[in-house]
Structure 1
Amino acid sequence: MGDHITMGDNDRQTQPLLTPLPDTAVFTAESDDIAPIAGASDFAREFLVESKKLWYLGAPAIFTSVCQYSLGAITQVFSGHVSTIALAAVSVENSVIAGFSLGITFGMGSALETLCGQAYGAGQVHMLGVYMQRSWVILNATAILLTLLYVFAAPLLRAIGQTAAISAAAGEFAVWMIPQLFAYAMNYPMQKFLQAQSRIMVMAWIAAAALVLHIVFSWLLMLKLGWGMVGAAVVLNASWWFIDVGQLAYILSGTCGEAWSGFSLKAFHNLWGFVRLSLASAVMLCLEVWYFMALILFAGYLKNAEVSVDALSICMNILGWTIMVSFGLNAAVSVRVSNELGASHPRTAKFSLLVAVITSTLIGVTLSLVLIIFRNEYPFLFSNDSAVREMVVELTPMLAICIVINNVQPVLSGVAVGAGWQAAVAYVNIACYYLFGIPLGLLLGYKLEMGVTGIWSGMLSGTILQTSVLFFMVYRTDWNKEASLAEDRIKQWGGDEDSRRKKDQET
């Protein structure tokens, strides 16, 4: 199945664009909003139609997310076979230093999901390339500032209580990983640019090629040639830049039509307004990424810190893989909601959300059951240390519950991004995660001496509360009003103005 369809210029100017779908597909992108659903048969029929649209976007998006996440996860797997300190160092750098930076760059890049998705749905295709270039400027400037975090990682980790051995090793590895930081800054704007146009398959193919090469060269450099953490840094940096170069080559090849018309000085216009929107997105997502980062940090303060950090890192590794499934649906539902709101189809946007939540919940339950069934076998894939494996087995029930909850939550966050609710969700995250979840986790873990299980239980409670609040927000949403706000947002960011100028020039 191809990753896009081609439409003529007249088509683009005379009708709003929805998520582009292939002519040979079973369903079509209709120009009207979904009709009210009268009964079970109507629901089943519309559910099937919307599921096909979501999976057309979601399947390659899930595959891409899993492949990209697996780059760091596989590096951790190989590190576990190098030494215990290597696994701890790579895990802490991945979770704390790179996790902090990823939260900022991915979060700021996610502003494009709102702008590009709604502009594309409204037919303002020519603005997508300008939005992406503005995001490049802002994210690379941000990356320059974040290099200080990498350079001073060792003393910072030591200052927040990590052991001297883990801090030194993770700090050294962080300096080697600075190229990955700038790869993040280039990658996420390109991802959102391509996702808004439903050009998902090209990202999937590039990510698949990167993953295969990453596995081969990680084994060769880290284990076969004995380069250890140096090999891990070389391969991980190269893999991310391979993805960037592949995506950039596709965009510059001219296959994106009006969406990419070349580099433009418009990228430097209205930067401060774009920064404000990017920061709202960054705060929302950073609060989520840093929440799980904090879990790794708190484990480092427990007795037998290396075993606790390693065991929890393995669980977070697996949780991350499973969350990539919901992240794929997150991307799909964000595109669907933003496109439909941009095209003034509020009922379709609402129904798309419902289908995504039901689908993601079923997937989470299935994955959790598989994990529980094989709880005594899978730890051998990650560590040679028997103490680490035993703790992982003990944590598996908690991991299974966490998988179910965290498979639903990213889908709801995807709706928030698609609708432009980032600032409101940021306040929700602060209250649920940092005022409730973390204090409860610290109370259970340290005061009541429940260890890793207590810390995780408290923080999971914060995630459950946050998910419940998001459900309530979605339930109370006036989707007709959201469609109107999407139209205003497009006008605010210059889409209509640029479109009128273009038409005047043509006439």
Structure 2
Amino acid sequence: MAMDTPLLLDNNEESGDYVEEGKLWNLVERFGFESKKLWKIAGPAILTSLCQYSLGALTQTFTGLVGELDLAAVAVENSVVAGLAFGIMLGMGSALETLCGQAYGASQIRMLGVYMQRSWVILVTTALVLVPVYVWSPPILRLIGETTEISDAAGKFALWMIPQLFAYAVNFPIQKFLQAQRKVLVMLWISAVVLVLHTFFSWLLILKLGWGLTGAAITLNTSWWLIVIAQLSYIFITKSDGAWSGFTWLAFVDLFGFLKLSLASAVMLCLEFWYLMIIVVITGRLTNPLIPVDAISICMNINGWDTMIAIGFNAAISVRVSNELGAGDFKTARFAVWVVSITSVSIGIIVMIVVLATKDYFPYLFTTSVEVANETTKLAALLGVTVVLNSLQPVLSGVAVGAGWQSLVAYINIGCYYIVGLPAGIVLGFTFGFGVEGIWSGMIGGIALQTIILIVVTSITNWKKEAEQAESRVKKWGGSIVSNDYN
């Protein structure tokens, strides 16, 4: 990746879209103009993420009303088995954010359909590879410390949830395909309608008819496949403004190169997706871990909901950067990075203030235990810092995806998270006896280091060179060939 110039705009740089660059008022106008573009993508993307996140959360809530074992089975399957698959599928599907976004920006519209089909081939194959994890989940869960009773119940539920695995494989490429074209409202409406249906049928099957885990599996599988079918119907009927022109054998061309980018995306996102989840596992190794585990689980729950906002901005900046680089407008891509970073960090600071202001009260929304609430209050400061860091870090990851830097960021994540942050947390928590506060503090250090490195990388990037590489990437994977073939 070529680098040479700082991210800030020079006063004497020219811009095709704006005049008198460098004047404060003009900068404010530019900021507002770019913010509108970002929020048109980020707003629906945030709500879509919340709707889809709520499918599993509602299923877990309804099964919790049936019994403790049913709740444990769904919770463990969702967080461990399906969580593993979700992270891998989402990560591999994110390769389309680079390719579809840049192809769309370069006006190679028909290539988006080809890219989506290539991603389907790779993700469905990956789903087949992951099926044994679902089949053999009971011994895997016992290996990581779950009881035999919970492992067997979760393993049984995992078998029933294999259809969801393949829904992931089809869904994520579709979402990146639509997202690159800024058709995020379509995804939002579909997800919202499915969520309403999911809520009603979960109540009907799980509680009213008493089907328990069977009803949970039926509703959750059906809901995910309804999302897939509805999105596919929209694409097939509308042709997505020319981005879909039917199935083609070009989907099998250069799969190896496509697989490399998909794997880099998967590694990059999975390393981030699983990092904070590891805190809960490590905390469970403490002496008398029940109260610390409950407290940190409450904090991770709040952080998880806040992450939905960051995911929306991640999607928005990925689309903006890839579109503008694909169109060759590197200055707008660079300015978009500044706008989304300032916006996201501002929201993170507001959330941090709310967390700190309510630290003596919000724990009681999740627990009736005074001991757990007090421990959660002690962790509020660490939660606040994490919220601020996580408001910027996913945005910078979105920039990386939009520009195609997945491999570089994967190496940065490995170094910062698993070579620095995780060992630091273990040493502080166990060797120095700081407990859960030490574990979390060390891992925050890893996030802070990664964020600083990504800020430096983004700041010294030669965006003009990135635009040229985007053009080369589109041509390399058949953009000009397909365009000529269809003309």
Same fold (TM over 0.5): yes
1:500 and 2:487 aligned:
no
Distance 1:423 1:350, change over 3 A: same
> Partner of 1:410 in structure 2?
394
Point out the more displaced range, 318-327 or 388-397: 388-397
1:34–1:348 Cα contact (<8 Å) kept: no
Normalising by structure 2, report the TM-score.
Answer: 0.90
Distance 1:188 1:144, change over 3 A: same
Point out the more displaced range, 143-152 or 173-182: 173-182
> Partner of 1:192 in structure 2?
176
- Structure 1 residue 458: Cα displacement: 1.6
1:61–1:328 Cα contact (<8 Å) kept: yes
What is the DSSP-based 3-state SS (H/G/I as helix, E as strand, rest coil) of the residue aligned with 1:302? coil
Could you list the per-position Cα deviations for residues 399-431 of structure 1 after superposition, in whole angstroms to 9, with x for gaps in the alignment?
A: 222111111111110000000000000000000
Point out the more displaced range, 431-440 or 317-326: 317-326
How far, CA to CA, are the matches of 2:264 and 2:326 in structure 1? 20
1:237 and 2:221 aligned:
yes
How far, CA to CA, are the matches of 1:380 and 1:184 in structure 2? 35
Distance 1:195 1:420, change over 3 A: same
- Structure 1 residue 245: Cα displacement: 1.4
**Match among 337, 359, 365 for residue 353 of structure 1:** 337
Distance 1:452 1:213, change over 3 A: farther
> Partner of 2:11 in structure 1?
none
**Match among 23, 34, 46 for residue 50 of structure 1:** 34
Point out the more displaced range, 52-61 or 208-217: 208-217
> Partner of 2:246 in structure 1?
262
> Partner of 1:483 in structure 2?
467
> Partner of 2:125 in structure 1?
141
How far, CA to CA, are the matches of 1:436 and 1:35 in structure 2? 46
How far, CA to CA, are the matches of 2:65 and 2:289 in structure 1? 19
Structure 2 residue identity aligned to 1:253 = I
How far, CA to CA, are the matches of 2:408 and 2:353 in structure 1? 34
Point out the more displaced range, 37-46 or 333-342: 37-46
Structure 1 residue identity aligned to 2:393 = Q
Distance 1:334 1:36, change over 3 A: farther
Could you list the per-position Cα deviations for residues 312-345 of structure 1 after superposition, in whole angstroms to 9, with x for gaps in the alignment?
A: 3333232121111111111111111001001111
**Match among 131, 136, 142 for residue 152 of structure 1:** 136
2:104–2:180 Cα contact (<8 Å) kept: yes
> Partner of 2:5 in structure 1?
none
> Partner of 1:23 in structure 2?
none
Gaps (5+ residues) in structure 1? 1-30
Distance 1:380 1:243, change over 3 A: farther
TM alignment of 1:57-68, pairs within 5 A:
57-68=41-52
TM alignment of 1:319-330, pairs within 5 A:
319-330=303-314
Distance 1:314 1:211, change over 3 A: farther
> Partner of 2:110 in structure 1?
126
What is the DSSP-based 3-state SS (H/G/I as helix, E as strand, rest coil) of the residue aligned with 1:253? helix
TM alignment of 1:197-276, pairs within 5 A:
197-224=181-208, 226-276=210-260
1:284 and 2:236 aligned:
no
Structure 1 residue identity aligned to 2:189 = W
Could you list the per-position Cα deviations for residues 14-46 of structure 1 after superposition, in whole angstroms to 9, with x for gaps in the alignment?
A: xxxxxxxxxxxxxxxxx9465673132222111
Structure 2 residue identity aligned to 1:117 = G
> Partner of 1:28 in structure 2?
none
> Partner of 2:300 in structure 1?
316
- Structure 1 residue 148: Cα displacement: 1.1
TM alignment of 1:355-504, pairs within 5 A:
355-382=339-366, 388-503=372-487
- Structure 1 residue 498: Cα displacement: 1.7
- Structure 1 residue 178: Cα displacement: 1.8
Structure 2 residue identity aligned to 1:301 = R
Distance 1:365 1:437, change over 3 A: same
Distance 1:201 1:128, change over 3 A: same
- Structure 1 residue 385: Cα displacement: 6.1
How far, CA to CA, are the matches of 2:272 and 2:300 in structure 1? 14
- Structure 1 residue 255: Cα displacement: 4.5
Could you list the per-position Cα deviations for residues 174-208 of structure 1 after superposition, in whole angstroms to 9, with x for gaps in the alignment?
A: 33322221111111000000011111101010111
How far, CA to CA, are the matches of 2:71 and 2:292 in structure 1? 12
Distance 1:460 1:94, change over 3 A: farther
Structure 2 residue identity aligned to 1:486 = A
1:91–1:313 Cα contact (<8 Å) kept: no
1:111–1:281 Cα contact (<8 Å) kept: yes
- Structure 1 residue 231: Cα displacement: 3.9
Could you list the per-position Cα deviations for residues 222-253 of structure 1 after superposition, in whole angstroms to 9, with x for gaps in the alignment?
A: 45555554443333222222211111111111
Structure 2 residue identity aligned to 1:136 = W
> Partner of 2:167 in structure 1?
183
- Structure 1 residue 85: Cα displacement: 5.3
Distance 1:164 1:37, change over 3 A: farther
Could you list the per-position Cα deviations for residues 360-414 of structure 1 after superposition, in whole angstroms to 9, with x for gaps in the alignment?
A: 1111122233334444554455456666555444433322221111111111100
> Partner of 1:170 in structure 2?
154
1:69–1:320 Cα contact (<8 Å) kept: no
Structure 2 residue identity aligned to 1:276 = K
- Structure 1 residue 161: Cα displacement: 3.2
